[in-house]
A and B are shown apart, each in its own frame.
Chain A
């Protein structure tokens, strides 16, 4: 173990650069996957014929596959059928598709947890179906969904590390580059990298718990 050799200013900067890429990819994927998941979740909840079933199948398939496979597939297999992306784009697309499938399930079950009687009440008081959804169901459901959705965001941030397999220069990748120089750097560098992931995720999990307390 060589902590002083491992924690040089150059190495720290290099790790931090990777950390910024990790955060960038995570934030973009979080936003994109949330929007897609909201649309898919609502469509499945409203049971629009055919569309709803098609989405159900797609979501079930994606949810039940390893993310690593989806990353490999996006980067190595899609070009064979003419869909080509840069490394960064492939990482974002793979993460977004996978997490959107996971989050859409949370949203759907959150919506389903709202008492059907409330919809009937809303309708009978003269609101349209969409108005009932928007004004009555969604605000209540959203509060229930927030904690599991934040947990999913934590998963997403951790999952960005898998993009190391397509050489995205994120935190995990940069840690490996430093580790390749000297075996004695491995332990200190991994400890530091783990702490960087941990700090962000721990803060997120505290936020999730606060929200949980507020809503219960």
Chain B
């Protein structure tokens, strides 16, 4: 009886201890993210970044050519990643000071607002609605919405989307909203991310997948049985998003983008990722 009681006590004590540890970790996390997100009014976001000497970028992990996680290395690679590295090089002097966190279209704004990341470079279209929530840099990539179909599909352009055509899209993306406007008869199915949407298209769960042509070209690059059809039917200018009211950081990023344009680095990266796929 005595022994049993003792072991019971030990289990309970251990359990409480671990909860305390957990709580301690939790508060540590909080204080870190608190200082990371720009210490209130006293310091602006650019100074905060220079102080901690790193920039944490939110990037896609499932978007070929822009941000794709390679299971072999665990690294994320793509145009967005390289742009982020070059910007970091200009602002902090060393591209290795860029850190990357995985985001989805749905998680990226919440993560920016809570200070998990300093900037979003994740195929993010500049829109008026989003400007209410975040600040955007200048356009760094001009994309437009298009359709992806399996080769031989009867769908050749947006006009071929009829009643009952299943169009696959991603939750929280502008393309899901646009397609409902441009093709109101379509059945739109929204998935959590591009990997799931493309897997669903391959599994014939839809007739076409819609999003920005740049992302679709990445999918074609991955699987040449699919093709992008029709003209683009929206303009999707990509911008780099930072926390609302950080003019200093926006300016630093814009200056860096201009420098990349003028020194030829931008064209080099564009050719490396985008041109090869066309």
A residues with a Cβ closer than 8 A to B are: 10-11, 14, 17, 28, 31-32, 34-36, 38, 75-76, 79, 84-87, 89, 92, 134-135, 138-139, 142, 164-167, 169, 174, 176-183, 186
The complex places the Cα of A9 from the Cα of B4 at a distance, in Å, of 46
Q: A76-B110, A134-B5, A177-B71 are in contact. List 4 more A-B contacts (CB 8 A).
A: A14-B72, A86-B116, A177-B62, A183-B199
Contact with A along B1-45 (1 / 0, CB 8 A): 100110010001001101100100010010001000000000000
Which of B100-108, B141-149, B238-246, B249-257 faces chain A? B100-108
One of A84, A87, A167, A186 near B33 (C-beta < 8 A): A84
Whether B160 is near chain A, meaning CB under 8 Å from some CB there, is no
Selected A-B contacts with CB under 8 Å, 7 pairs: A11-B71, A35-B15, A76-B106, A79-B113, A84-B33, A142-B8, A177-B61
| Chain B residues positioned under 8 Å from A92 (CB to CB) | 22
Distance to closest chain B CB from A205 (angstroms): 20
Whether B192 is near chain A, meaning CB under 8 Å from some CB there, is yes
Of all chain A residues, which has the CB nearest B71? A14
Whether B268 is near chain A, meaning CB under 8 Å from some CB there, is no
The 9 closest A-B pairs by CB, nearest first: A84-B114, A180-B195, A10-B72, A14-B71, A35-B15, A183-B202, A31-B18, A35-B19, A79-B110
Whether B74 is near chain A, meaning CB under 8 Å from some CB there, is yes
Query: How many pairs, one residue from A and one from B, have CB atoms within 8 Å of each other in the complex?
Result: 90
Of all chain B residues, which has the CB nearest A181? B222
**Once the chains bind, are A167 and B193 in contact (CB under 8 Å)?**
yes
The complex places the Cα of A180 from the Cα of B215 at a distance, in Å, of 14
The complex places the Cα of A35 from the Cα of B102 at a distance, in Å, of 32
Known: A176-B196, A183-B199. A75 touches B110 (CB 8 A): yes
Of all chain B residues, which has the CB nearest A178? B71
| Chain B residues positioned under 8 Å from A85 (CB to CB) | 29, 114
Distance to closest chain B CB from A106 (angstroms): 16
Known: A166-B107, A183-B202. A139 touches B62 (CB 8 A): no
Q: Which of B62, B113, B114 has the most CB of A within 10 A?
A: B114
The complex places the Cα of A109 from the Cα of B194 at a distance, in Å, of 45
| Chain A residues positioned under 8 Å from B107 (CB to CB) | 75-76, 87, 166-167
Distance to closest chain A CB from B114 (angstroms): 3
| Chain B residues positioned under 8 Å from A134 (CB to CB) | 5
| Chain A residues positioned under 8 Å from B114 (CB to CB) | 79, 84-85
**Once the chains bind, are B4 and A180 in contact (CB under 8 Å)?**
no
The complex places the Cα of A92 from the Cα of B104 at a distance, in Å, of 20
| Chain B residues positioned under 8 Å from A14 (CB to CB) | 71-72, 74
Distance to closest chain B CB from A171 (angstroms): 13
Distance to closest chain B CB from A181 (angstroms): 7
| Chain B residues positioned under 8 Å from A138 (CB to CB) | 8
Distance to closest chain A CB from B180 (angstroms): 22
**Once the chains bind, are A35 and B16 in contact (CB under 8 Å)?**
yes
The complex places the Cα of A76 from the Cα of B103 at a distance, in Å, of 13
One of A11, A31, A36, A89 near B29 (C-beta < 8 A): A89
Distance to closest chain B CB from A92 (angstroms): 8
Of all chain A residues, which has the CB nearest B16? A35
| Chain A residues positioned under 8 Å from B196 (CB to CB) | 176, 180
The complex places the Cα of A176 from the Cα of B71 at a distance, in Å, of 11
One of B5, B8, B22, B74 near A32 (C-beta < 8 A): B22
